[in-house]
Structure 1
Amino acid sequence: MTPDNPDTTGGSRNSTQNIDFSMVLASAVHDMKNSLGMLLNSLDDLRREQSATIADSSRFNTLQYEAERMHSDLVQLLGIYRLGENNLSAHIEEHFVPDFLSEHMARHTPLLDGLGIEFELEADDINGFFDADLLTGVLNNTLNNALRYTRRKIRLGATERDGYLVIAVEDDGDGYPESMQHTGAPDFKTLDFNSGSTSLGLFFASSVAALHSEGERTGTIRLLNGGSLGGGVFEIWLP
């Protein structure tokens, strides 16, 4: 026999309760990241087509910078989600470092020129073993931060130290506050979402570095002040 007053809502309620909301958010973030990528491509095309009128437009440069920053943030969020799901791994391949960095910076050159920021690239003729996509995500975020705090100049450098590939992003701004200067990963539990600076980018960068290992050596990040430009220095060390 069937009950006189069957509960027709129970199945729907249980179905709703079984939704993995983190998966829904990850899917939405992925879609937004792709949409912003298309927007950035359109902005690049517009800059080329209308270079005479918008190359020095502060509003256009701000639009492109903020779009780049949001795209970088979404890439990091997806990476951190995959990390939490134990689904983020590094696909290590050999790369000629000067070529990799030159190709990476070509993406940022129009915005740097539009903002009037001088850029310097100095990389030793060395090969490195790393995941190019993950490292690109780290460098995008780091360069966006440098663009925000620099005065006139940014330097991207790469060298070999103690058996590690060290890639550094330097600026001539005021540098990192003392509380942020450290070596290694920030504690995710200490991230402050009320301060306006959550350090999610640093957490992502340190996580990417840690995915690169060789024997007992593991990648890490370092934040310090000084360098050749006297401002903030971000370093990622990869074995």
Structure 2
Amino acid sequence: MTEQHLPVDFSFVLASSVHDMKNSVGMLMQTLEQISASLSPQDPQQRDQLAVLGYEAARINGELIQLLALYRMENKRMLVQIDEHYLDEIINEQLARNDILFRSRSIDVEVDCPEDVCWYLDAELLGSVVNNLLVNAARYCKSRIKIAAAIVNDELHLVIADDGRGYPDFMLKEPMATSNSVSFSQGNTNLGLLFAGEIARLHRRGEQVGRIELANQGVLPGGEIRVILP
């Protein structure tokens, strides 16, 4: 009798593994927050070390979430739930998630989002984009980040800027050409830009499709990413 092997769907196995890893990293992040909260004010060095661990765990968790989302998009399993949401609530939720990171790195975060700015969008997906872009900005900025949201020409513009070195020229010309800007030696795969662009494109109105734009020397002297939803 010939032994038969079922074909292995490697992408499904990988996605399942990523999901398990994401859950484990989430538990690690909660534990780090509990340890940090229990430290006395006399332990600034330990707090800084935990902040570094928390930042790296948040970055890994964000990239795992993005990988799962991209897998679901590829396999037509991504559910988009569009409803009316206030942008200040989405922004403030992500700022709270990264409060320890900003304070440990002495980063000043400025928010420019009137309370009445609301839009039809998927709050969970956009929140993931905002979280990732904030963590990325914290990595490259010197000391300042600005996040703003406004309605411009009947489109929602969500902008995150920093005072770092800015984007290289080739990325400004083709922000979605991530394969040309991958640098494994520097730990830069630009997965966040790919994720932000794909999430933006999931938001449509008639023939209009969401998009992202990159710029330098905007409201701050570094780089600026603009997520635009119709």
Whether the aligned pair in 1 keeps the contact of 2:107 and 2:144 (CA below 8 Å) is yes
Amino acid at match of 2:52: T
Give CA-to-partner distance per residue, 1:142-162, whole Å, 9 cap, x none: 111101110011111111111
Distance in 2 between the 1:150 and 1:233 partners?
A: 11
CA drift of 1:91 comes to 0.8
Query: Counterparts of 1:65-80 in structure 2 under 5 Å?
Result: 65-80=55-70
Alignment partner of 2:143 out of 130, 134, 152: 152
Distance in 1 between the 2:166 and 2:181 partners?
A: 20
Secondary structure class of the residue paired with 1:181:
helix
Secondary structure class of the residue paired with 1:87:
coil
Distance in 1 between the 2:178 and 2:145 partners?
A: 28
Give CA-to-partner distance per residue, 1:104-137, whole Å, 9 cap, x none: 2111112211111111111022111111111111
Please name the residue that 1:29 is paired with.
Answer: 18
Distance in 2 between the 1:162 and 1:112 partners?
A: 33
In structure 2, runs of 5+ residues without a counterpart are none
Amino acid at match of 2:34: D
Bigger drift between 84-93 and 46-55 goes to 46-55
Q: 1:198 to 1:159 in 2, by over 3 A?
A: same
Alignment partner of 2:91 out of 95, 98, 101: 101
Whether the aligned pair in 2 keeps the contact of 1:213 and 1:219 (CA below 8 Å) is yes
Distance in 2 between the 1:190 and 1:63 partners?
A: 30
Bigger Rg, which one: 1
In structure 1, runs of 5+ residues without a counterpart are 1-5
Same amino acid, percent of matched pairs: 37
CA drift of 1:198 comes to 2.1
Distance in 2 between the 1:26 and 1:119 partners?
A: 34
Whether the aligned pair in 2 keeps the contact of 1:182 and 1:222 (CA below 8 Å) is no
Query: Counterparts of 1:52-201 in structure 2 under 5 Å?
Result: 52-54=41-43, 57-124=47-114, 125-182=116-173, 186-187=176-177, 190=180, 192=182, 194=184, 196-201=187-192
Paired positions, count:
227
TM-score normalised according to structure 1 size: 0.88
Amino acid at match of 1:84: E
CA drift of 1:41 comes to 1.6
Whether the aligned pair in 2 keeps the contact of 1:92 and 1:130 (CA below 8 Å) is yes
Whether the aligned pair in 1 keeps the contact of 2:51 and 2:100 (CA below 8 Å) is no
Q: 1:22 to 1:52 in 2, by over 3 A?
A: same
Say what the alpha-carbon RMSD is for the aligned residues: 1.9
TM-score normalised according to structure 2 size: 0.91
